Amino acid sequence: MALDKPEILAPAGDKTCFLAAVAGGADAVYMGLKHFSARMAAQNFSMAELAQLRHLADEKNVRMYIAMNVMAKSGDLNAVGRQVDKLRRYAKPDALIVQDLGVAAAARQAGYAGEIHLSTLANVTHPAALPLVHEKLGINRVILPRELSIDEIKQCDQACPDSMTLEVFVHGALCYGVSGRCYWSTYLGGKSSLRGRCVQPCRRMYSQGGGKARLFSCQDLSMDVLAKIMHEAPKVAGWKIEGRKKGPHYVYHATRAYKLLRDDPGPEEKKEALALLERALGRQGTRYNFLPQRPISAVAPEKSTASGLQIGRTKRERKGFSISCREKLLGGDVLRVGFEDEPWHQTVLVRKRQPKAKPLPCSAVKALPPDNTPVFLIDRKEPELMQEIKELQAKTDKFPSPKIEPSQFSVYKPKPHKGRVRTQTMHVNRRAPQGRIPGNRGLWLDSFNLKSVPQKSVSDIWWWLPPVIWPNEEEWFAGMVGKALAKGARKFVANAPWQAAFLQSSKKPLLTWAGPFCNAGNVLAINQMKKLDFKGVILSPELTREDYLRLPRESPLPLGIVTEGLWPLCVSRTIAEGVREETAITSPMNETLWVRKYGQNYWVFPGWPMSLSAEKKTLANAGYALFVAVHEPWPKAVPRANRTSQINWNLKLL
């Protein structure tokens, strides 16, 4: 579905930001409710607010997209359905943004008939996936990963069905890990990024051999004038600006800038757009991989990756400290002193207009910052913008605010799998062992393993596909699957549901399971995997004891669980210059991690394994068909830890 012009899709974390997006000329705004949103730290919206804003959106011809882009647990599904039921009746969103196929299924059960957009967290990374998600799952739009080059975006554009569209990020924060492939916050802090609770451990200081640096903290994505190249991909129907935790100043300036850049700008409009982006209070920008002939690491430890515009530095005084500013300040400006992981980090509210030459006196709320601590302008309320927002607010207040009645929706769950279960253990290795291959062995699919395994053992091996396949390697992996099938392979583990597209050509029945990177955590998601012809599902490693013990009783397919091994903190497509692979890296809490490259991706591993070995009897009694042990060669230069992790087993997954 090609549009005349891609829509400018603006973020909104609260009502003021929504109004700023409308004032800036956004064609669509995406936002979340107070539950089931991947930006739970944003203020987010009530149902009554959304119902009122719907009237304003209709008047201004602005589309409203509601993000429900979290991994859901089975216990969430009724609440998800009730929320969608109320959205359907009161807010009438033009689209829901989801990462979890179970949420999509619950939305349809609740009677939602609008578009469903698949979040970048769903990790649809390669062209062959697009027809599959549209035809088998009814997805209307896919939001592509931020790691793609323009050539890879064009590949996806060419594979996209005519009745489906694509969306691409053009501006805003970058995650170090590939979206949907980051478990760092869970592993170190018990707060899942897949559930909207990321504590951003990648932004912290790390050390490797010498001084400390922000070895994993990314700059912001900024396509700016290069965004126009995406006109060559006509099915890219949305230019998306990240930033649901940002203020109205950022939303307004970024929206205006990309609207100018989209509308065939001349030299003056380009200049104005670049000035708007420079004043939008984001981090330093990068084009990342957008230009394939000039890929850039998103991580530059020598540069600041603090959000906001650096406007000065601190100086200690007898009573507190002062800020010497190279910018004039306005009343209502919000300043941030230092970085969030520093003991003197604090915010300062500017009470009145301040000339740029005059030091701003401050009292230390926390520890006194050292001299020359950088200070950033992180939010601003210009009088002209605030007046425009005030007028839009007054208009919104005149619209009716409905009384929100509770929903009685109850999700329909598929019939549980009734087959007999005998628990087996699968050992997954990077390299094929010498000699005879023991039964129930898993190997990562690559040319070395496929050549090394004796012909008679190929059909016994579980061939594991990687957690990310990029467009420029899709043909190679499709060829590897074809070679494996030709040699007699019949067992596969797909680590994105869409990798089922590689297996559709087989004329013989296959035993294919959805792997743990598919992030399945509820019965409706498992049922969607069944629609994609999977015969079993290895659950997400992020679930808790309660969730794991509940699911076998409800699941329409046999289930597996990762019980031991080195589970990655994240999988990334970038690495900072100077970071050495296979060498210990130390976190601020003296935790050890290390990096290893496989193909185009960098896997970041913790310095200690996960283990649910002590719970195997409990899990077997609960009805699990498969235990998975993931083996990773240990680097010689990294010391082995004397501990293991149970990840979230004994925690609550908020």
Residue 565, pLDDT score: 95
Digit-coded pLDDT (tens) for 459-494: 999 999 999 999 999 999 999 999 999 999 999 999
- Please check whether residue 589 lies inside any domain of the structure: yes
Rounded CA-CA distance 433/86 in Å is 55
Residue with tokens 């609770």, as numbered in its chain: 197
Q: Same domain for 135 and 104? A: yes
Rounded CA-CA distance 575/587 in Å is 16
Q: Same domain for 519 and 476? A: yes
Q: Same domain for 20 and 145? A: yes
- The encoded tokens of residue 288 equal 């990342």
**What is the number of structural domains in the chain?**
4
DSSP string for residues in 595-619: EEEETTEEEEEESS-EE-GGGHHHH
Neighbours of 268 (CB within 10 A): 9
Using alpha carbons, select from 483, 500, 461, 495 the residue that is nearest to residue 598.
495
pTM: 0.95
**CA 244, 245, 251: angle at the middle one, nearest 5?**
60
Rounded CA-CA distance 353/304 in Å is 27
Q: Same domain for 11 and 158? A: yes
Q: Same domain for 210 and 357? A: no
- Please check whether residue 276 lies inside any domain of the structure: yes
Rounded CA-CA distance 69/625 in Å is 29
- Please check whether residue 126 lies inside any domain of the structure: yes
Q: Same domain for 94 and 242? A: yes
Residue 145, pLDDT score: 97
- Please check whether residue 599 lies inside any domain of the structure: yes
Residue with tokens 């126009």, as numbered in its chain: 228
Rounded CA-CA distance 296/174 in Å is 13
Name the DSSP letter for residue 575: -
Q: Same domain for 526 and 550? A: yes
- Among 379, 412, 435, identify where a domain stops: 379
Rounded CA-CA distance 654/651 in Å is 9
- Please check whether residue 63 lies inside any domain of the structure: yes
**CA 208, 212, 215: angle at the middle one, nearest 5?**
70
Residue 530, pLDDT score: 96
- Please check whether residue 396 lies inside any domain of the structure: no
Residue 90, pLDDT score: 95
Residue 307, pLDDT score: 84
Q: Same domain for 163 and 276? A: yes
279, 302, 328, 336, 355 from 377: Cα distances, Å = 10, 20, 11, 6, 15
Rounded CA-CA distance 625/613 in Å is 15
Name the DSSP letter for residue 637: B
Rounded CA-CA distance 325/309 in Å is 11
Q: Same domain for 503 and 535? A: yes
Digit-coded pLDDT (tens) for 128-172: 999 999 999 999 999 999 999 999 999 999 999 999 999 999 999
Digit-coded pLDDT (tens) for 68-115: 999 999 999 999 999 999 999 999 999 999 999 999 999 999 999 999
Q: Which domain holds residue 15?
A: 7-174+219-281
- The encoded tokens of residue 218 equal 């990314």
- The encoded tokens of residue 580 equal 């050495």
Q: What is the CATH number of the domain that holds 534?
A: 3.20.20.70
Report the chain (654 residues): mean pLDDT per 10 consecutive residues: 81 96 98 76 80 96 96 94 95 97 97 97 97 96 97 98 97 95 90 90 91 92 94 97 93 97 90 93 90 89 82 91 91 91 91 89 88 93 94 94 92 88 91 71 95 91 97 96 96 97 89 97 97 97 95 96 97 95 94 96 96 96 96 94 92 79
- Please check whether residue 504 lies inside any domain of the structure: yes
Residue with tokens 């996806």, as numbered in its chain: 156
- Please check whether residue 509 lies inside any domain of the structure: yes
- Quick check: 284 and 417 in contact, CB under 8 A? no
Q: Same domain for 274 and 130? A: yes
